[in-house]
Structure 1
């Protein structure tokens, strides 16, 4: 009886005083950034959150508050809930308190200083002259099926005039069913990494992509984060950030020793780093620093913001080399606080912004992109001779058709049963939906062509409009690889309804070398060109539904051109074009060129032209289809020299030099800044047709509304056609684009602010008769705002001219234009 009483008492006591373990996370209310090492108080006990703001508590009384304290924030009171074992606490910034100043402890500062000073000794790329290894990389897009609700939702959607539309949404149910069986997308590759001195090259040994017979080569070069933890700047989604173990990084980050641990039997300091500005959406994480060599033995990186990125690096200690060598790299990308869709692999994927356990109506709220990379077969003894070091990735034809048994050694390491099913399912889906054909078609269309059997129809020549020709209808084509990979013929014909003239051109070409993409060509054309237009021979002619600037131009000249040309990518990171042309020029407006007491109303020009575009910071990939610029980096530079050749029947002698550079900087927030600088100069005697008008885009009419036309990309919107001409000039375009603003009803403009300025001059203005114009020695400045992509790609721009060439009437300095941006979805 006594034993029964004791048993009953203990059972009652444990039930009465039962404790429940809950997990939680503390985040910033506005940014959702986790608050590392915040104090969590509960019933007199104090614990600290970890570096991800997470904590665990034993709860005995739910009515007792959990209090969170952190410097720079109001104290936050929260209460656990018996219905859930997860608690998300959002702390609010104390705006009345002084911004907390963070300092690194002296001891940690000395350790970090040693890490920085020993970087070259510990980085394999710097410490070792030669090595090579193989690497297996697996990329997949997936979701955790357990996090997705399978219920069918009822959606109430309000229309524009207040009416409500009701419909059932089963997308969550279908999405859960899909990701329970397979991943959304996946691709694998095995590559050989060779390093010799300061050069590293990757050769793809095998690759396969679910749903594609031929790989999407751009994905093979996908680099979400830096390969080396010692790189500076450190790259996140192709955006550079300061590395916390760089000299400059110490000015931006605060460091804190968490504890001392053992890794592979060696003592290591566990150091947490975070931005000195606590609420900054910048890099933060944990570094495990070898206490003897001060090398990074393990690393965790996080970025919270528009995109949430988790990256983990693990290393193996090699005793013989006294070096921590990379072993495994894992990356996970999820959507952060942005309301915008994060586009990956050509699709639109929506990601959950935080750890709040809510399920939205959008089926892909829980999707993520992950990459796992594993090193094997390391060799330090082989001396590598890296051929063509400017080619960072080489994809030979033999890597595209490896049998299934090749992949078995790599597949055995994974227990994910969804992996194999993804290949089978997506291969079937690709055939059924013709995904591969649509991708092939999209690449053709974005470059301005539509494939029809042995030819690609030129979409740019079908219809155009300008003030001289009126509507211009035409037909053009180029033969494709189905006919031959070694030669091609392009031709076009067009007719203007207003000038009632036929224009045409034909260009046969022959490929001299496949690897360097060297082509030789000959051409003849009879057509029109805008007066004083600057074209770079190396510019890519992208497809446009309309070309806004020529619509209102009326000053053209006719040319009859015979030419031979050579184009090649044989020079590293450079695309080069060499042309020799013979032209008969006939201005189609009132113009006379007076030179040495001789009058020219039409003239002959023979010119030699050398043009090249140099992309020194981009990375290139050699594929069976040719050379691909897979990692486009800025700045880019274009040079062009045009020299008249009097010995080959040319009426004038002149030299024309043109230069431009373009720089674009994207930010992790989704915003971007762009700078375009262009300059040119003509030495000698050249007619007005071959000078510079600097891309004006405004018609000379009195009322603002009468001047509303389409905006150009890099044109001066308040400069009137034929207002200024120069034989030497410099122009600067500055632009910053903000994130899109969602105003509802599918209205989400992309706002940009821009300033454009130009300076120029011209000698011997009295030699150019018939067309009045001004000079630009005092300069030209305009600034404006653009609201692009407001609805279905349509937007508007507004610019104002000011400075030395401002016009007397205020209205004449204002330009309002319609903009249109076509998104083909490729």
Structure 2
């Protein structure tokens, strides 16, 4: 070992640390070669790649505190917060990883703040291709891309230790946003493993993270045992909040002050590392099990047994003050209300008021107003009762729903539901059963819809999570359909304007790359994974409960989001719909048009949709076979100041379709999409108070003779608490 080390040092000395340009280039080349070897040997040095299985326990402590710049003493603030977490981490090959939360300490909270368990504050493994700091992603210095984007320098080689190592410093070569890391890597002379790493970032946020490793001789492996991070905002873009930007506690925000500053420090220590004797791992494909044993006494004595040192006087003061402030301000309840509002609910005791039913508007009903909601867990955790009652002031008709849901099995989220609905529905709409609930203050397309049909529907549903990432739903329904405008469906020699349908729908949603957390209340996807693949099959049965038609519908949708390291985002939606049999127009497909049937661009000015064709007119096209593609590319928001961050988005949309037996649909005129429809444009979002601007242009086979008719100009709205 010593002979090899001395030879290495001698070789470096011969090549020279001299001051001439050639010597500098040579040293740089050596450093680059060492990093290249470290990258080449990741498969031999990364614990996740080398070991078939391992586990360890980890204690983490996070502290956000305001302090005096000069004396570094604590400044009392409602933003100060301290939290602790104690977990068991397990790993098996085939990428099975699981964290089991054994205990947590969130001062002021009755229940743990579960979303924090799923937040990535920094990358845990230095061997990953990407390195994350809060919400930012960078090229790791130990990656092929990092080897090109960073300038490496051999600082020195330390040989008078048991495991000699090279100290390699690195800096960004350019101002590319994804390559803005700097720091030091301690690379083992023999194995090229990392013994220690210091990673720094100084744009918007000043961050320093130190990764420490210990050598396990039996395994011949350097294993990560401790991570220490400290972060400080340098401007408004560097702000960060543990519980949400509207919550004062745990809020690291930038303030121009010569005398004070805020820091966020995080320490994670690993111990009781096991490479052979493993506890059994849960087979439910849950990434985080947050099911703490309520009987475990988590006193200061308990926590002191895992802390490297007891809490300082300042940390104790932060914990005590945060506990008082959060309880006094009822922060836990405020967090829940904000979460509920973003889903479209406002909790009132045991009842969640559904904000979607308060006020709406469309061209058929005019102003649509009423009340709706559902009971929450304060009434019962095993069943809920809900519904709504609304009135359209233009059609002067009441619509309502009465529904009940029963939780049959909690671990698989098996729910049986029954409902009766009397309402109107858009002609040609096709909402997937398992599409997640969304809520916006403006429902874009609803304002412009003119074509509806009436229905009275009895339905029963069974929802079941086959696995955390595979959700299934079966729905049986019987509907009576009435028209709101002249329309007749001619089928088997008979004309129908009123008809009955008995349908069975089966929906499957597969999210193979989602990450899941199990809490005492539910299993939820804490990190949305892509692609998301949904399939739905609908079968209508003729002569079952006096149903008039038999048809089959098969729908497949793929949602994919690509998050680029330069903070740009590409969103892709690919959808295919196939209808076979005797399908009335009410249950055929449209491509989500969103252009009002008005003459001028200004007359058509309204709200842009999320996945709609902005230049396609309502009622213009229908299909029994349809394929559509939506692509959005979002550029990094332009930060003008903290509350003004406009976002530029490029958009292109395409659809192609066909209609079988178009002649059977009478008293209504429409076109088909067999030639292919195209539009492209852009959005400038979040210009002021969540409002922005959208522009789209229609081109290709369905380009209209009048130039203005091909243009859509609308406003956008993006708002979240």
Same fold (TM over 0.5): yes
Distance 1:320 1:229 in 2: 22
- Find 1:398's aligned residue among 293, 307, 322: 293
Give yes or no for the alignment of 1:729 onto 2:626: yes
What is the CA distance between 1:254 and its match in structure 2?
4.7
Give yes or no for the alignment of 1:383 onto 2:314: no
- Find 1:697's aligned residue among 567, 580, 594: 594
**Within 5 Å, which residues of 2 pair with 1:739-754?**
739-741=636-638, 749-754=646-651
Secondary structure of 1:446's counterpart equals helix
Distance 1:818 1:103 in 2: 58
- Find 2:313's aligned residue among 417, 429, 433: 417
Distance 1:744 1:225 in 2: 26
Q: Deviations over 1:92-129 (max 9, x none)?
A: xxxxxxxxx99995544553343334323322223222
| CA contact 1:130–1:196 (8 Å) conserved in 2 | yes
- Find 1:657's aligned residue among 554, 572, 581: 554
| CA contact 1:590–1:771 (8 Å) conserved in 2 | yes
What is the CA distance between 1:200 and its match in structure 2?
2.2
Give yes or no for the alignment of 1:544 onto 2:467: no
**Within 5 Å, which residues of 2 pair with 1:635-650?**
635-646=531-542, 648=544, 649-650=546-547
- Find 2:167's aligned residue among 270, 273, 288: 270
- Find 1:806's aligned residue among 693, 700, 703: 703
What is the CA distance between 1:338 and its match in structure 2?
6.8
Q: Deviations over 1:521-570 (max 9, x none)?
A: 11111111011112011112223223121112121011111111111223
Give yes or no for the alignment of 1:142 onto 2:65: yes
Q: Which residue of 2 aligns with 1:119?
A: 42
- Find 1:286's aligned residue among 180, 184, 196: 184
Structure 1 range deviating more: 515-524 or 570-579: 570-579
What is the CA distance between 1:618 and its match in structure 2?
1.6
- Find 1:465's aligned residue among 361, 386, 389: 361
What is the CA distance between 1:388 and its match in structure 2?
2.2
| CA contact 2:121–2:132 (8 Å) conserved in 1 | yes
**Within 5 Å, which residues of 2 pair with 1:239-638?**
241-247=138-144, 249-261=146-158, 265-277=162-174, 281-282=178-179, 283-335=181-233, 341-342=239-240, 344-347=242-245, 360=256, 366-388=261-283, 390-398=285-293, 402-411=298-307, 413-414=309-310, 416-638=312-534
Q: Which residue of 1 aligns with 2:114?
A: 217
C-alpha spacing 1:406/1:370, structure 2 compared with 1 (3 Å): same
What is the CA distance between 1:409 and its match in structure 2?
2.4
What is the CA distance between 1:594 and its match in structure 2?
1.8
Give yes or no for the alignment of 1:770 onto 2:667: yes
Distance 1:745 1:148 in 2: 29
Considering only CA atoms, is the larger Rg found in Structure 1 or Structure 2?
1
**Within 5 Å, which residues of 2 pair with 1:77-96?**
none
Distance 1:803 1:235 in 2: 43
- Could you tell me the TM-score, scaled by structure 2's length? 0.89
| CA contact 2:442–2:717 (8 Å) conserved in 1 | no
| CA contact 2:468–2:516 (8 Å) conserved in 1 | no
Distance 2:642 2:228 in 1: 39
**Within 5 Å, which residues of 2 pair with 1:647-686?**
648=544, 649-667=546-564, 670-686=567-583
Secondary structure of 2:190's counterpart equals coil
**Within 5 Å, which residues of 2 pair with 1:176-187?**
177-178=75-76, 184-187=80-83
What is the CA distance between 1:510 and its match in structure 2?
1.0
Distance 1:320 1:575 in 2: 44
> What's the C-alpha RMSD, in Å, of the aligned pairs?
3.1
| CA contact 1:566–1:578 (8 Å) conserved in 2 | yes
Distance 1:452 1:641 in 2: 38
Q: Which residue of 2 aligns with 1:194?
A: 90
Secondary structure of 2:506's counterpart equals strand
Q: Which residue of 1 aligns with 2:4?
A: none
| CA contact 2:681–2:697 (8 Å) conserved in 1 | yes
C-alpha spacing 1:212/1:103, structure 2 compared with 1 (3 Å): farther
Distance 1:665 1:104 in 2: 38
| CA contact 1:257–1:269 (8 Å) conserved in 2 | yes
| CA contact 2:487–2:667 (8 Å) conserved in 1 | yes
What is the CA distance between 1:698 and its match in structure 2?
0.9
C-alpha spacing 1:700/1:311, structure 2 compared with 1 (3 Å): same
- Could you tell me the TM-score, scaled by structure 1's length? 0.78
Distance 1:697 1:559 in 2: 23
Q: Which residue of 2 aligns with 1:76?
A: none
Q: Which residue of 1 aligns with 2:14?
A: none
Q: Deviations over 1:407-434 (max 9, x none)?
A: 1224461563221111211111112211
What is the CA distance between 1:209 and its match in structure 2?
1.1
C-alpha spacing 1:110/1:431, structure 2 compared with 1 (3 Å): closer
What is the CA distance between 1:315 and its match in structure 2?
0.4
Distance 2:192 2:624 in 1: 60
Secondary structure of 2:287's counterpart equals strand
| CA contact 1:476–1:493 (8 Å) conserved in 2 | yes
- Find 1:796's aligned residue among 682, 687, 693: 693
- Find 2:51's aligned residue among 93, 117, 128: 128
| CA contact 2:337–2:347 (8 Å) conserved in 1 | yes
Secondary structure of 1:540's counterpart equals coil
Distance 1:685 1:334 in 2: 64
What is the CA distance between 1:303 and its match in structure 2?
3.6
Distance 2:347 2:680 in 1: 42
| CA contact 2:304–2:310 (8 Å) conserved in 1 | no
Secondary structure of 1:773's counterpart equals coil
C-alpha spacing 1:747/1:337, structure 2 compared with 1 (3 Å): closer
C-alpha spacing 1:131/1:394, structure 2 compared with 1 (3 Å): same
Distance 1:295 1:743 in 2: 43
Secondary structure of 2:293's counterpart equals helix
Secondary structure of 1:177's counterpart equals coil
Distance 2:304 2:391 in 1: 61
C-alpha spacing 1:103/1:240, structure 2 compared with 1 (3 Å): farther
| CA contact 2:562–2:569 (8 Å) conserved in 1 | yes
Secondary structure of 1:436's counterpart equals helix
What is the CA distance between 1:341 and its match in structure 2?
5.0
| CA contact 2:413–2:464 (8 Å) conserved in 1 | yes
Q: Deviations over 1:170-217 (max 9, x none)?
A: xxxxx97326xx971221100011233342211111001132121221
Distance 1:106 1:320 in 2: 34
- Find 1:817's aligned residue among 693, 701, 714: 714
Q: Which residue of 1 aligns with 2:604?
A: 707
Secondary structure of 2:629's counterpart equals strand
**Within 5 Å, which residues of 2 pair with 1:219-234?**
219-234=116-131
| CA contact 2:138–2:178 (8 Å) conserved in 1 | no
Distance 1:307 1:618 in 2: 28
Q: Which residue of 1 aligns with 2:678?
A: 781
What is the CA distance between 1:304 and its match in structure 2?
4.2
